[in-house]
A and B are shown apart, each in its own frame.
Chain A
Amino acid sequence: QKEVEQNSGPLSVPEGAIASLNCTYSDRGSQSFFWYRQYSGKSPELIMSIYSNGDKEDGRFTAQLNKASQYVSLLIRDSQPSDSATYLCAVAGGTSYGKLTFGQGTILTVHP
């Protein structure tokens, strides 16, 4: 079982729709959760971090964390073509304290 799993997609949504990205993790002791966006040929850029159960909103982005279910998600509202990228879920803490373990990424395409 992979430590961090994402639905690999590709996920295609129309412009203006909500894109939903999901991630599960295996280490129950994980403490920090991150969503990164990576454009082709570029390094990842941090979109959201979340540490507590519940929702965290930042602009068009909402991260949701459920530690009991070992599940973290990212919602992108009013999706734009510029949101088309690979989204990486990363987890830190627990047995890999301080290190990030990445999921394989979900490719998102927002079509006009």
Chain B
Amino acid sequence: GAVVSQHPSRVICKSGTSVKIECRSLDFQATTMFWYRQFPKQSLMLMATSNEGSKATYEQGVEKDKFLINHASLTLSTLTVTSAHPEDSSFYICSARSDPNTEAFFGQGTRLTVV
């Protein structure tokens, strides 16, 4: 399968600071990337969809000014959690696909802990 690399895998930051998470498709062009959040013992919840070169589409209830998404190239999308607070602590996972009807390949996930 296709490879999606997410970095960092784990990050601890202080409350009020910002954290950037990268998602790269290594061997295919990802026209669409998705960002999910998963709280303990819960399923994945879609935060936003980003298409290369366009503004991200955020799901209801997700603050676009807090979770900044950039998809500047066909192989890279970034999620920046701005002014992070402890309630933002979660497992953030990206996925990427080249085509709407193909499988989505997931990155390894980023465990964010805000202290």
Instruction: List A residues at the B interface (Cβ < 8 Å).
Output: 31-32, 34, 36, 41-46, 49, 51, 88, 92-93, 97-105
Contact = CB atoms under 8 A, between A and B. Distances in A.
A34 B103 contact: yes
Secondary structure at the A interface, as helix, strand, loop or mixed, is strand
Contacts of B46: 99-101
A100 B108 contact: no
B95 interface: yes
B103 A46 contact: yes
Nearest to B100: A98
Secondary structure at the B interface, as helix, strand, loop or mixed, is strand
B32 A43 contact: no
Contacts, number: 53
Given A92-B100, A99-B46, 9 more contacts: A41-B91, A42-B109, A44-B106, A88-B43, A88-B44, A97-B100, A100-B46, A102-B44, A102-B45
Nearest to A2: B43
A66 B6 CA distance: 35
A14 B10 CA distance: 35
B105 interface: yes
Contacts of A43: 6, 93, 106-109
5 contacts: A44-B44, A44-B106, A45-B106, A46-B103, A98-B32
B105 A46 contact: yes
A102 B49 CA distance: 15
Among A32, A43, A45, A93, the most chain B Cβ lie within 10 Å of the Cβ of A43
Interface in B1-28: 1, 6
